[in-house]
Structure 1
Amino acid sequence: MYSQTRAQEAMRQLFQGQGWRDRVGNLEAGSVYPDQQAPIIRNAEDGGLELVKARWGMPTPPQHMKTQRDPGVTNIRNTASPHWRRWLDPAHRCLVPLTSFAEPLGKGRGNQWFAPADDRPAFFAGLEMRDWRSIRKVKDGETTDDLFAFLTTTPNAEVAPVHPKAMPVILTDPDDWQTWLTASWSIAGALQRPLPDGALSRIDNSQ
């Protein structure tokens, strides 16, 4: 899970002059869990950027589906997979605002939380898709949802002792935000990399 406490107005100011549209209404800050609705910033179909809510969990690759119910994939590592390649163009990329994120410490030990060391605005490098029909919960039947997930990569020095296999791809540089949202994959794909060592602080609780 992760937390998002940045105000909508603060996010708007980060993207001034880019045709910003707020489509979420009143946004509540707090923790975000898989399969929940959460804010993302994406390219609007008619130009500019829009802040919307989407459901956390992209479609599961068919070979990993055990039943008709699709629980969704929250984190994406293998961008070379044909399943994910169709969603790598700018039309399907998004920025997912975060304040801090959690990595599990092991059974019964809770989570270790991390946040940018200098409190600068941060976003997961995300992929999104719209109007996807699937069965997320059996009791709800088939639903149509806007979905998102974010990329992972090798961990940096702060995350590796807790999660040696992966960490989320986090972007803190405005130039990287722009590259992620607009550049070809041959350029934007280079952003699938860990934050530099020292760029994260370990914290006791979600901020």
Structure 2
Amino acid sequence: MCNLYRMEKAPDAIVGLARELGREIAFPDGVPNFEPRDVRITERAPIVRTSASGGLELVERRWSWPAPTGKPVFNFRGEGRRFAPAERCVVLTDGFYEFTAPEDPKAKRKDRWLFTWPGHEWFGIAGIVRSDPKVGEAFTLLTCEPGPDIEPYHNRQVVLLSPAACFGWLDAVEPEGTFIQPLLSGSLNVNRA
């Protein structure tokens, strides 16, 4: 499962795209200072969601909430489920990682693979937001069956959204199944990272 993703250009880019589409994104917590980086489980990162008034807002929230066992819920199976518009969020990224057993049996670390989406300077990962008494509001990444580009590396994948589809996911006009599916073969580039 995806437990690390990259965020270098996405926050500024989604605000720009929203303006091009005649939509505004508010910053209810103030304009954050985003630093390009890899985002790890339990760290705070930017998400876009629908506000209580029906507009869009960009906020920083924690990635994962604790399960009853105490382990972090950082991925959440998306197939066959319904998600209220108020729960939906878009996690901003320009790449994500998967890990495999090392090719070198003497290596101590797993091999790390970076997936990017050619033709998209940034894209979204479909997510949901929940409130937890221990950590406050937090988000998790939705997953689906792996597409052909990811299947050699993992048996699940995060739900990827093109920049335009990010707004469709948030608007919740189309059913969840429209979005919760893998991309076609050849959609993603993969490189050892």
Specify if TM > 0.5: yes
Work out whether residues 40 and 95 of structure 1, in 8 Å CA contact, stay in contact via their aligned partners in 2.
yes
Aligned position for 2:99? 104
Corresponding residue of 1:41 = 48
Structure 1: 4+ residue segments shifted above 3 A: 78-81
Matching of residues 1-207 of structure 1 within 5 Å? 1-6=4-9, 8-16=11-19, 17-22=22-27, 23-60=30-67, 62=68, 65=69, 70-77=70-77, 80=80, 88-106=83-101, 108-130=109-131, 132-134=132-134, 144-163=135-154, 165-174=155-164, 176-183=165-172, 187-205=175-193
More helix by share: 1
Count of equivalent residues: 180
| Counterpart residue type for residue 156 of structure 1 | G
Letter in 1 for 2:100: L
Q: Which residue of 2 aligns with 1:140?
A: none
The code of the aligned residue for 2:73 comes to V
The 1-side partners of 2:79 and 2:10 are apart by 31
How far 1:40 sits from its partner (Å)? 0.3
Contact residue 58 and residue 128 of structure 1 kept, 8 A:
no
Q: Aligned to 1:91, what secondary structure does the other structure show?
A: coil
State the alpha-carbon separation in 1 of the partners of residues 90 and 72 from structure 2. 18
Query: Contact 2:11–2:92 (CA<8 Å) still a contact in 1?
Result: no
Q: Which runs of 5+ in 1 are unaligned?
A: 135-143
> 1:112, 1:125 → 2: CA distance?
20
Residue identity in the other structure for 1:35? T
**Conserved? CA contact 1:24–1:53, under 8 Å:** no
Distance apart, 1:96 and its partner CA:
0.4
How far the C-alpha of 1:192 sits from its partner, in A, is 0.7
Deviations 1:73-107 (A, max 9, x none): 111115557xxx6xx10001000011111111126
**Structure-1-length-normalised TM-score:** 0.78
TM-score (ref. length: structure 2):
0.84
CA deviation after TM superposition for structure 1 residue 203, in Å: 2.0
1:14 positional shift: 1.3
- Provide the aligned C-alpha RMSD in A: 2.0
TM superposition shift of 1:173: 4.9
Identity within the alignment, %: 29
